[in-house]
Amino acid sequence: MQFLQLVISGIAQGCIYGLIALGFVLIYKATETVNFAQGDLMMLGGFFGLSCMVVLGMPFWVAFLATLAVAMLFGMLMERALLRPLLGQPAFTVVMLTIGIGYLARGMVTMIPGWGTETHTLPVPYKDEVLRVVIGSGDPLILSTEHMVIIAVTAFLIAILFLFFRYTKLGIAMQATSQNQLAAFYMGIPVRRINMLVWGISAAVSACAGLLLAPITFVHVNMGYIGLKAFPAAVVGGFGSIPGALVGGLIIGIVESLAGFYLPEGFKDIAAYILVLVMLVILPNGLFGDKMRKKV
């Protein structure tokens, strides 16, 4: 039971890593740049959702949807205003810009007095509830609702994204653009608008991760540093693969959870990085790196 419980909480944590990794991968595949502000977009999502609920008094689910919509617009605006003018510049320039955007986001939030410097609790309706599942005659399995919500919402979001990329004309055009941008231009696909949309989706996915994580870790200005764990997730999965990002996230979440319990103090925080090192030696392309390369 103990073990199963650890695995489930690892999966929940892994979903968060997976979602942020997914955000990285979407942008990486579309534009070949790495967005280091991904974690900070998550933090902004957390604060925005918190403001919607606490200041504007919206119910949780309304605030949730509003946050996703605003994050999507924000991501698109960011692409249009900051990244598109840098088109054709070396990748390094773009990476520096995203790092700058991250600092800026944290700085701005800190400047909001009594709000940005505090640690807040997101008043979700399912806070601190547990589910008891009795299996056989043993102890009941105790599952926290927060974890269950994370897993369910992530699964739902992934299913939607999968159907979108697989079956809609726009989704297929996004795949096409990431596989061969020049050919997409030749087919009359509006490549720049498509890339803008990718930034929007990526930001919305990150904000979603922020809202899901908030009941567990609270909303604070540095919550985006969890993005540093999403990197190993993307690498383990094979940078550039969407299923890989999710599986990588889950693996890291589970390993961390188990390491935190069974291994000596301190191992929890480095488990992800040890895993990446081992992974890079054994399978340099990651789990899905070879076959699934360049598939949105």
Q: Which residues bind another protein (CB under 8 A)?
A: 169, 172-173, 175-176, 179-180, 182-190, 294-295
- In the bound state with another protein, the residue whose beta carbon lies nearer, of 33 and 178, is 178
- In the bound state with another protein, the residue whose beta carbon lies nearer, of 120 and 192, is 192
CB of 30 to another protein, least distance (A): 14
- In the bound state with another protein, the residue whose beta carbon lies nearer, of 132 and 169, is 169
CB of 34 to another protein, least distance (A): 21
- In the bound state with another protein, the residue whose beta carbon lies nearer, of 19 and 184, is 184
* CA 114 to each of CA 3, 48, 118, 119, 211: distance values in angstroms, whole numbers, following the listed order: 41, 15, 6, 10, 20
CB of 50 to another protein, least distance (A): 40
Query: Using CB atoms within 10 A of its CB, is residue 35 exposed (0-12), middle (13-18) or buried (19+)?
Result: buried
CB of 197 to another protein, least distance (A): 14
CB of 179 to another protein, least distance (A): 5
* Selection from 151, 123, 157, 139 nearest residue 22 by Cα: 157
- In the bound state with another protein, the residue whose beta carbon lies nearer, of 2 and 180, is 180
CB of 188 to another protein, least distance (A): 3
CB of 37 to another protein, least distance (A): 28
- In the bound state with another protein, the residue whose beta carbon lies nearer, of 5 and 179, is 179
- In the bound state with another protein, the residue whose beta carbon lies nearer, of 173 and 208, is 173
